[in-house]
Amino acid sequence: MGGVRDARAVVTGGGGGIGAALARRLAAGGARVAVNDVDADRAREVAAEIGGFALPGDASGAVSAAREALGGIDLFCANAGVATGGGPEAADGEWAAAWDVNVMAHVRAARELLPEWLERGEGRFVATVSAAGLLSMVGAAPYSVTKHAALAFAEWLSLTYRHRGIAVHAVCPQGVRTDMLRATGAAGDLVLAPGAIEPEQVADAVLAGIAEDRFLILPHPEVAGYSAVRATDPDRWLAGMNRLQQTLEDRP
């Protein structure tokens, strides 16, 4: 299928950070964009800036609202996410929220989108996953686990439907200078902040990945090397990650 020009596009979590950068980049590329965000004011601000449509509210209603606003959906960016920290001690509600936003929102969107896309033989699903989905993140078990699941779901969509015209992309950046990074505290400062990039760089990588029909989009190219070590020498990789964990614990 083609690129983004004239595409009817939806971006969840589009009121700031990567989502806002994606919405701007898609609009600049000729797409008609619906901006979804739980922060209604931010959704309206970005939509007004790009000449798009604001869809305030959580991501669960984005598909039906966007169909009404755009007359259909060609490109869906499942970008909304939550960065829940902690380990097994994190409350069940925190685990449930991470699972709902980071995984089930993608599942629900696909459930609504696929019948129409399969009938017409094309559609494009972009999942903002994070490098944590390929690797992991110290100090953040709910985030790491649910991002692994988000990547697995994107892989499943691609392997199941690519021969029927459905294109799927998994976007896996490391640190990005957003409110989410600032909320990660000491772990984010240690692991993510030193190599953090701007949201606009992620958006540029996404558009390049769409143009090249690449499943895996790595705004930080070095993630490919880390992932290869994780796959081929897991003990070496885990030892390195454990050293990061010890460094984190030794911080005042």
User: Does the active-site annotation cover 161?
Assistant: no
Give the neighbor-by-neighbor strand order of the sheet with 166-171: 53-56, 32-37, 8-11, 75-78, 123-128, 166-171, 216-217
Q: Which of 53, 76, 143, 153 is catalytic?
A: 143
**Which tokens belong to 47?**
């939509």
Calpha distance 249→252 (Å, rounded)? 8
CA distance 135 to 147: 9
Greatest Cα pair distance, the chain, in angstroms, is: 57
Q: In this structure, how many other beta carbons lie within 10 angstroms of the beta carbon of residue 195?
A: 11
- DSSP lists the bridge partners of residue 94 as none
What are φ and ψ of residue 53, in 5° steps? Answer: -120, 135
Q: What are phi and psi of 134, to 5 degrees?
A: -90, -30
Give the catalytic positions in this structure: 143
